[in-house]
Structure 1
């Protein structure tokens, strides 16, 4: 029969104590690794930056297409078959150069027909003139006889009426001749319009027809588009600017233009036109967008001689040192534009992320507020419960002084892509918290202890 080993009270106590020590050690390690312990003395880890004087340029960005500033769309005024087309797309043409001819047979025949009708009507005019002279002679004779009472009054009235009728016939024949002469002039003009010449100097940027095609004249409706003549050395970018940004844009604002076809190059431009009427898409839906068309002239020289003519030669832009190459823009190219709407010089500025928003209503009540409208007299509900106050949102930054984050209300001005102007609240040289985002937006409070570690955030950004 075996004996059970008895554990002494002392041994049992030592075992329990050892287990407790191990649990406390493990718990402490976990708490420290999770940040629950050991951080109270140092405070929240933050990144800071010094407020500094900086020049800030406010930008409005938009995208659009390149097009010529001057573009003439040619349509025929007469219909017919194209029998001659001596130009092709991309050709440079001068004013009055021949562009195309339309078959003139129908219009030549109409002129001959109208000429024949005019000759016939002129003959009728001569006949009407002879009849008028005869009626006038008869009327004069009858008037003399009537005055001598040699004929009756009825005979006199009959001669006078015949004379007046012949005068009217002669006038009608004259008017008919004038009408046919006008028809003849119109027929000649239509014949002249079968030959189309360039209305101005420029480049044929689009050619929509070929020799042998039939085209429709624009007498009572829009005619066939033949071609477009553009000034390729005068290009502009047409962009759509949102209604929220259009109030900041004004004619004369300078711009930086990036063209997809020429990456890593910046071209200069200037705002020339701003539309007064909006272009609305998705009207009546949640996706409704209201934009305004803005035209921006490209001021950087960008076109070389295109057809041996010196009219389109531009001075080479200094975009590539030692190179005389100048890019040639074409209609329809995509471009992105940054419009410089306002610039301020040597103003106190901070990185944009340094400015956050805090609800000052929480300071007086300790209760998180919402957007419910509450009057000053309504401080409790009917059951004596607390009413959530109205929000009092203000822009603030956190200034670091002696390891303490102090909340400071600020007024802001314009901003660029990275910095924002501070109108009041801080001065140049103040150390301001700029990160992390979670700390600034939610965790950091007025009076919190902070530990500045800018290197940690730089390492995180690099990784």
Structure 2
């Protein structure tokens, strides 16, 4: 009897041991091969005012800047201004030696007077020739002179009239030359065309300068109105469509640290500025000029500045963090995971087909298709597919872009 009991116990033991080993193996496999939860951070979707900012860099410059070059050539004999000096419109900037131009005026005056004297003489000859012709006409009608004498008188009268008319044209010619030489002499005195400040002075007293003519002359100095300043920036072609005249601008200048200067867009170029044209690195920008409103004469031409142009402003917009928006496969298919095999080009096009966010709910990540709008530096507007107050996965970047998929387990750090 004891022997049978021992055999039954041994048989039960032989059956229980494999079952126990199988259970242990299944338990170990569960812990080893079970899906690990992806650690993420979340933020609630909420509403706020979104301001889309276009950032560009450029240089401070005056709105009105004039390069002063003389119209006539010669030696500078007076230069009463200094760099940085303020001048009023009409003030003398510099004077060129006028002796040559004075001589030209006197010479043209003499030629004009000579032409006037010659015109008086021609007028006298004309009057006498016309009187002789009148008398010859009377005598010819009475047949007291021959036809030859009549024609001679007529020819003399015509020649005298032509000579007088020519002398009148000569007076106009020499008067024009006289006026031109007088104008050149006046231009030896170069005066300020606007109220402003001397921002550069390139020449000194005693230097010879070349006047403007068929070629650029010598730029003696630069004059600018520093009461009206602007910053000229280049905006990329993708952003220029959002920039409008009147857009408010926040401007920071390197020399003034974090101080904000306020401005407004007042001019947008219609022609593009291309860099590295014809290459893969080609960039197309457009020039935008921004009037600075509160510079208080602190800014100087040439300073480096950064302009944040407020192009679009949307109030009470539903937003999520920018990094929360990603792309995934059509609903029902898993996205490519980090440990998966590298997808083919065709599979990649299928995978990156839907824009959406991951919603955190009950320890799971649910992919939600959304439609997005404009963005600011931190958040992007969600136009459809989401409600305010929902928990949206906001990090990490690796988790959002590659690890998460619809229905995967997630965990959030304890707060």
Class of the TM-score when normalised by the shorter of the 2 chains: 0.7 to 0.9
When residues 389 and 89 of structure 1 are mapped into structure 2, their CA distance, relative to the original with a 3 A threshold, is closer
Residue in 2 aligned with 1:333?
303
The 1-side partners of 2:77 and 2:355 are apart by 73
When residues 50 and 113 of structure 1 are mapped into structure 2, their CA distance, relative to the original with a 3 A threshold, is same
2:115 pairs, out of 98, 113, 121, with 121
The 1-side partners of 2:360 and 2:383 are apart by 19
Contact map agreement 2:210 2:217 (CA 8 A) in 1? yes
Residue in 1 aligned with 2:326?
356
The 1-side partners of 2:351 and 2:33 are apart by 36
Give the count of matched residue pairs: 386
The 2-side partners of 1:302 and 1:454 are apart by 52
Q: Which runs of 5+ in 2 are unaligned?
A: 1-23
Residue in 2 aligned with 1:302?
296
When residues 38 and 216 of structure 1 are mapped into structure 2, their CA distance, relative to the original with a 3 A threshold, is same
Secondary structure of the 2:296 match is coil
Residue in 1 aligned with 2:40?
46
Q: Cα deviation per residue 1:288-331 (whole Å; 9 max; x = unaligned)?
A: 1111000001111422xxxxxxxxxxxxxxxxxxxxxxxx1010
Contact map agreement 2:229 2:295 (CA 8 A) in 1? no
Q: Which structure 2 residues correspond to residues 56-455 of structure 1 after superposition, within 5 A?
A: 56-303=50-297, 328-360=298-330, 363=333, 393-453=353-413
The 1-side partners of 2:389 and 2:414 are apart by 16
Secondary structure of the 1:278 match is strand
Residue in 2 aligned with 1:379?
none
The 2-side partners of 1:213 and 1:204 are apart by 19
When residues 163 and 370 of structure 1 are mapped into structure 2, their CA distance, relative to the original with a 3 A threshold, is farther
Residue in 1 aligned with 2:21?
none
Contact map agreement 1:48 1:454 (CA 8 A) in 2? no
Q: Cα deviation per residue 1:275-296 (whole Å; 9 max; x = unaligned)?
A: 0000111111111111100000
Structure 1 length as normaliser, TM-score? 0.79
Contact map agreement 2:235 2:288 (CA 8 A) in 1? yes
Secondary structure of the 2:271 match is coil
The 1-side partners of 2:212 and 2:370 are apart by 64
The 2-side partners of 1:418 and 1:361 are apart by 27
Secondary structure of the 2:256 match is coil
Q: Which runs of 5+ in 1 are unaligned?
A: 1-23, 304-327, 373-386, 456-463
Secondary structure of the 2:258 match is coil
The 2-side partners of 1:246 and 1:427 are apart by 32
Contact map agreement 2:328 2:351 (CA 8 A) in 1? no
Contact map agreement 1:267 1:298 (CA 8 A) in 2? yes
Secondary structure of the 1:137 match is helix
How far apart are residue 392 of structure 1 and its match?
A: 6.0
Contact map agreement 1:371 1:391 (CA 8 A) in 2? no
Secondary structure of the 2:333 match is helix
446-455 or 288-297, larger mean C-alpha shift: 446-455
The 2-side partners of 1:52 and 1:290 are apart by 37
The 2-side partners of 1:408 and 1:368 are apart by 24
Contact map agreement 1:58 1:416 (CA 8 A) in 2? yes
The 1-side partners of 2:79 and 2:399 are apart by 72
When residues 141 and 435 of structure 1 are mapped into structure 2, their CA distance, relative to the original with a 3 A threshold, is same
How far apart are residue 39 of structure 1 and its match?
A: 6.7
Secondary structure of the 1:100 match is strand
The 2-side partners of 1:73 and 1:401 are apart by 68
Structure 2 length as normaliser, TM-score? 0.88
Contact map agreement 2:78 2:94 (CA 8 A) in 1? yes
Q: Cα deviation per residue 1:45-98 (whole Å; 9 max; x = unaligned)?
A: 111111111111101000000000111222111111100000011000011111
